[in-house]
Structure 1
Amino acid sequence: MTLPALVEQHPAKQLARIAFTQLTGEQVHRLVRLQKGWGHISWTVRTHSGRYLLKTGLRRPALADLYRQVAAQQQAAAHIPTPLVVAISDHGAALQRPCYVQTWLDGVDGEVLLPRLGPQGVQHFGRALGAAVAAMHQVPGPRFAEDCSGAVTYASWTDACHARLSRVTAANEKAAVLDTGVLSTVVDHLAERIGDLPRTITPRLTHRDLYLPNALQLAGANGAVGLIDWESAAFYDPVWDFVKLGMWVFDRHPELRAPFMDGYGPLPGAFDERLAVYQGIEYLAGFPYFGAAWPDATMLTGFRRLLNDWLATHCPTGTRS
């Protein structure tokens, strides 16, 4: 991806200072570029009124991406701890790209925090994370939608799943990373199972990127957990969130599974059947993403293992990737 060129006479840090003042009217006392983060270029900003974060998309830099992130974050903020969006720019002013300013959420992300915790701390964090995700999943959507700005919506959940599977299939065919026989086997099986999904599923706010760096244990909040980074959020079946939770949280940190489930509460009906469909779709999505769009051999190997395990469980007579 080629990012828009920055104005030659200013370094990026100075452009961020100018952009923040243009958006908020406040002078910057201190500005520091965050080095961590895959989806955004971000700067922490201190002013006389407090601490903020200036963000612009890296992998998803378009104006439509800004709208979907802001819409989701505003929906979430009414129900769970998450930063508040205080200013947005559709043209980016000095940054020459869409950007927005949000309040700073003071806390420690789960990836940094977990190694510091003893057994009781792990239990507390897991329950608090489960409670935060459950609260998010209570936020209703007006329709099933690919994003919370309503750019792409569906008449039914079955339609949404078929549309997602169709896009993932087309991306795999173009990338040509996954064996065509395996792709055909998985797609045929998923298309059949989509038709068996319960008709009672209703659209809820779904983060779709739940892993420990996006979960903060908040400072001074009695161990409560907040969620950040809403660029992938949608109005989906909330069970979809358990795909990444399984991959990046429970599989890597099995000690978090039981307390998370305790904090989350009762799982919805036909949970395992629903999750199996969404796992198959998301495992397929990893191949064009990490095999072509953003090549990463380690991640691609991981998705081959996940898909092979899924095939062994759900298509035992099928081929392997």
Structure 2
Amino acid sequence: MPQPDQSPPGTAWAEPLLREVFPEAEVVDVLPRTGGQLSTVYELRCTDPAHHAILKVYAPEWAWKQAKEVHVYRILAGLGSLPVPRVLHHTPDGAPGGRAVTILSLLSGLPLSEASKDLDAAQIPSFYRQMGATLATIHRIGQEAYGYLTDRTLDPRPDNGSYMRHQFAKKLAEFKTLGGDDRLHDAVARRIERDGALFDNCRSAVLCHNDLHEGNVLVAPGGTSRVTGIIDVENAIAADPLIDLAKTDYYSLGRGEPERTALFEGYGPLPGDAAERLDLYRLYHALELWDWFRSIGTLGPLDSIADDIARLADRRSDTPW
């Protein structure tokens, strides 16, 4: 997949964009921030700190994601209880080369993935407890169908069973095309054939962040154990809330039982079949992650993820979580 342009934009075109929001803004610096495969992110520093903002520039082939982010951020901001960026301005062609750009309010804090290096291990569960509570809040937003979200649900599915069987079939086909091990492929297919009826236990879809890991959680500096921001809604879907919880759990790489316990405590009561369903969703996320890394040529983690796939595919539906 082509990588987005990493060269920082100049103030000459960033400042007019920001002045759509703050007419008196004077941009003095444009600093690269953590970005993803689909876009690059910059912090706009101004003479007046009240005008500081985030500028997001989309790779041309991913410009359609702008409408999605604007839509989802506005839904979350409407809750009034989550620390999410406000969409200040967006245009489909504001960057050089006609690339889409979005300007967001600047939230305080550092990504937990970065800040955790300077924190005591005993502080980390507190953040996971807050992450669980955040997911529970997002999941109060119901959706009419299951599927991938933009500013609407694409290829909507009427029930979770058909949606998840479709998703597993798609990811398994990608796995095979990308050269994945045939035995692993067949083991996953058997697991879904055996236990896939569990998907039908989810009776209604909700909004899912679908990427709430430590890189997308901002925390206050100074060791106060406070989440200050929830960012990056590029992967949002309408789905079973447990698929979201399972992704945060699976992506807590290097963490252990204290963080998992805190995550579930923060989330609150779970359905009686949560252990079994969460296990299937962890399998899905491992398969999806293997496909993604292989597709972009990131080979280092593949063996470890394949081990996860093998372990999860071999689990019985009554295995304790």
The secondary structure found in structure 2 opposite 1:272 is helix
- Contact 1:42–1:54 under 8 Å retained in 2: yes
Deviation at 1:210, TM superposition (A): 1.8
Deviation readout 1:45-71 (Å, 9 max, x if unpaired): 13444221010235x842321122222
CA drift at 1:228: 0.6
Which residues in structure 2 correspond to 1:116-195 (within 5 Å)?
116-118=118-120, 121-152=123-154, 153-176=156-179, 178-195=180-197
The offset of 1:124, in angstroms, is 3.2
Taking structure 2 as the reference length, the TM-score comes to 0.83
Per-residue deviation at 1:284? 1.9
TM-score (norm 1): 0.83
- Count of matched residue pairs: 309
Q: Does 1:13 align with 2:10?
A: yes
Report the AA paired with residue 109 of structure 1. Answer: P
Quote the residue 2:274 is aligned against.
Answer: 271
The 8 Å contact of residues 190 and 280 in structure 1, kept in 2 or not, is answered as no
Contact 1:53/1:103 (<8 A) preserved? yes
Alpha-carbon distance in structure 1 between the residues aligned to 2:150 and 2:267 = 23
Residue 311 of structure 1 pairs with residue 313 of structure 2? yes
Residue 55 of structure 2: aligned partner: 54
Give the structure 1 partner of residue 34 of structure 2: 36
Shift of 1:253: 4.5
Cα distance change, pair 159–2 in 1 and its aligned pair in 2 (3 A): same
Return the match for 1:232 from 232, 235, 239.
235
Distance 1:269 1:16 in 2: 54
Segment of structure 1 superposing worse, 126-135 or 193-202: 193-202
Q: Is the 8 A contact 2:250 2:285 kept in 1?
A: no
Contact 2:191 2:314 in 1 (8 A): no
Residues 162 and 191 of structure 1 are in contact (CA less than 8 Å); yes or no, is this contact kept in structure 2?
Answer: no
Give 1:140's aligned amino acid.
G
The structure carrying a bigger strand percent of its residues is 2
Structure 1: runs of 5 or more not aligned: 316-321
User: What letter corresponds to residue 26 of structure 2 in structure 1?
Assistant: V
Residue identity in the other structure for 1:37: G
Cα 1:68–1:193 change in 2 (3 A) is farther
Counterpart of 1:78 in structure 2: which amino acid? G
Helix, strand or coil at the partner of 2:41: strand
- Does 166-175 or 101-110 show the bigger shift? 166-175
1:90-137 deviation line (CA, Å, top 9, x unaligned): 234535212211101112221233343346633433322222222112
| Cα offset, 1:43, TM superposition | 1.3
Return closer, same or farther for 1:182/1:236 CA change in 2, 3 Å cut-off: same
The aligned runs of 1:196-215 (5 Å cut-off) are: 196-215=198-217
Local SS of the residue matching 2:229: strand
